[in-house]
A and B are shown apart, each in its own frame.
Chain A
Amino acid sequence: EADIYQTPRYLVIGTGKKITLECSQTMGHDKMYWYQQDPGMELHLIHYSYGVNSTEKGDLSSESTVSRIRTEHFPLTLESARPSHTSQYLCASSELGGKFFGPGTRLTVL
């Protein structure tokens, strides 16, 4: 079944740790995205990719980095987590139409 997956779903981690949020999709979409969303607030685009070896920063400045080595995989990395990074991180993919979102990773940095 074509879908988009994110792991972990929940992560509680201490300040200064390096973390990688995983995102994979089986729909064969070239375009993938990372959004950040706080509870009850708007979606903010932080990274996107239009294909392998293509990555761009989004509208919201973020200290995270991304890579796109395979079409189906778009991981997001925080080198040194801080409490200000506490948020929900949503991965999405698209082709010609609307975006399809994964279930999200809720990150808490203590």
Chain B
Amino acid sequence: QKEVEQNSGPLSVPEGAIASLNCTYSDRGSQSFFWYRQYSGKSPELIMSIYSNGDKEDGRFTAQLNKASQYVSLLIRDSQPSDSATYLCAVSGGYNFNKFYFGSGTKLNVKP
């Protein structure tokens, strides 16, 4: 079982819709959760971090964390074609405190 699981996609949404990206993790003791955006051929860019249960909003992005269900999600409101990228979920601070695990990423396509 992988430490972090993501659906590889592609997830296709029309422009202006809400894109919902999901991630589950296996280490119940994990404490820090991150979302990265990676455009094709580029390096990952940190876009959101969340550390406690609930929602965290930043512009059009909302990260949601449910530690009881071991589930993290990223919502992108008013999706734009420029949001088309691969989104990586990352988790750290669990049983092996120094470990930092990346998911394999979900590819998002926003259609004009």
Taking Cβ atoms with an 8 Å cutoff, the residues of A that contact B are: 39, 42-43, 50, 90, 94, 97-104
CA gap between A43 and B36 in the complex, in Å: 12
**Option from B34, B42, B104 in Cβ contact (under 8 Å) with A104:** B42
- Kindly state the separation between the CA atoms of A39 and B40 in the bound complex, as whole angstroms: 8
The distance from the CB of A51 to the nearest CB of chain B, in whole angstroms, is: 12
Q: What string of 1s and 0s marks CB contacts (under 8 Å) between B85-107 and chain A?
A: 00010100000001010101100
How far apart are the CA atoms of A50 and B99 in the complex, in Å? 12
The complex places the Cα of A103 from the Cα of B45 at a distance, in Å, of 10
* Interchain CB contact under 8 A, A103 and B90: no
Asked if B43 contacts A103 (CB within 8 A), the reply is yes
With A42-B104, A43-B88, A43-B102 as contacts: A98 and B34 at CB distance below 8 Å: yes
Interfacial chain B residues near A100, Cβ < 8 Å: 46
Q: How many pairs, one residue from A and one from B, have CB atoms within 8 Å of each other in the complex?
A: 34
A94 to B, closest residue via Cβ:
B100
Report whether A42 and B102 are in contact in the complex, using a CB–CB cutoff of 8 Å. Answer: yes
Q: List, in ascending order, chain A residues with CB within 8 A of B100's CB.
A: 94, 99
Which A residues touch B46, using CB under 8 A?
A: 98-100
Structural contact, A98 and B90, CB atoms closer than 8 A:
yes
Question: Is the pair B49, A98 in contact by a Cβ cutoff of 8 Å?
Answer: yes
Please name all residues of chain B whose beta carbon is closer than 8 Å to the beta carbon of A94 when the two chains form the complex.
100
Judge whether B20 is part of the interface by a CB distance below 8 angstroms. Answer: no
> A103, B42: Cβ atoms under 8 Å?
yes
Residues of B within 8 A of A39 (CB): 40-41
- Once bound together, how far apart are the Cα atoms of A92 and B111, in whole Å? 32
A103 and B39 alpha carbons, distance in the complex (Å): 11
